[in-house]
């Protein structure tokens, strides 16, 4: 009888302590989970700030293009502007992917900074180095969605794909 009671007490004690132990483990885990959530929240804030900064930089580049470049090169980059006509400028059509394909970013940077003939130089006070980089990406982007230039195509495969008529369904 006493033995039985002792056994029961041990079992109860075990259940109670293990219950408390599990509870303690849970509370111990809690702050860590919270810290993880905070880090995740911080990362999200950082990513948001980063994408906001990027959007701002892109907007600034577009603005610079609008003020300093579009009057000659055109809002779409095709170079068909009244100013170009009046000044008898021969401007490349940047909506054609071939137009800038053979020019490196360094060559374009040098031309934008130094100017050439009737192309006016863009001063550092009007566009930072990063903004000139942005301008180059922006004007290269005018040909997006147009068929890729043969020189820019990395392999023959995409060209073969393009030649294959789409499946009729
Ligand atoms: C007054 C008109 C005028 C303005 C404004 C102008 N450009 Fe040009 N741009 C030209 C002419 C003309 C050429 C061709 C020059 C040549 O033969 O090298 C040219 C050439 C270029 C080229 C070389 C690639 C190509 O298509 O031949 C780039 C890149 C370029 N311009 C970028 C810009 C950018 C960026 C701006 C604004 C910051 C700008 N241009 C403003 C007239 C202009």
pLDDT in tens, 122-140: 999 999 999 999 999 999 9
Task: Provide the residue range defining the domain that includes 124.
Answer: 66-144
Write the pLDDT tens digit of every residue in 147-167: 555 554 444 444 445 555 666
Whether residue 76 is contained in a domain is answered as yes
Kindly state whether residue 1 falls inside one of the protein's structural domains: no
- The H-or-E segment that residue 11 falls in is helix 2-68
Residue 163 inside a domain? The answer is no
pTM: 0.70
Look at residue 112 in the predicted model and tell me its pLDDT.
Answer: 98
How many domains does the structure of the chain reveal? 1
Backbone Cα Rg of the chain: 33
69-80 pLDDT, tens digit per residue, is 999 999 999 999
Mean pLDDT of 34-53: 87
Residue of the CA atom closest to atom 19 of ligand 1: 119
Q: Which ligand 1 atom sits closest to the C-alpha of 89?
A: 12
pLDDT at 26 over 90: no
Q: Which residues line ligand 1 (CB under 6 A)?
A: 68-69, 71-73, 89, 91-92, 99, 108, 111-112, 116-120, 122, 135, 139
> Of all protein residues, whose CA lies closest to atom 11 belonging to ligand 1?
119
Per-residue model confidence (pLDDT) at position 153? 45
């Amino acid at each position: 009888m006493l033995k039985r009671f002792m056994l029961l007490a041990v079992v109860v004690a075990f259940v109670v302590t293990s219950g408390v132990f599990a509870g303690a483990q849970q509370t111990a885990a809690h702050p860590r989970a919270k810290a993880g959530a905070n880090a995740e929240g911080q990362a999200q804030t950082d990513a948001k700030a980063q994408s906001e900064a990027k959007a701002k930089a892109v907007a600034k580049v577009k603005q610079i293009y609008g003020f300093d470049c579009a009057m000659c090169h055109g809002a779409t980059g095709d170079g068909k502007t009244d100013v170009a006509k009046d000044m008898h400028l021969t401007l490349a059509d940047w909506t054609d992917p071939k137009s800038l394909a053979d020019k490196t970013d360094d060559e374009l940077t040098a031309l934008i900074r130094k100017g050439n003939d009737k192309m006016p130089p863009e001063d550092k006070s009007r566009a930072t180095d990063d903004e000139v980089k942005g301008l180059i990406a922006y004007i290269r982007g005018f040909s997006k969605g147009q068929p890729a230039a043969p020189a820019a195509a990395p392999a023959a495969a995409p060209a073969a794909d393009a030649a294959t008529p789409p499946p009729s369904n």
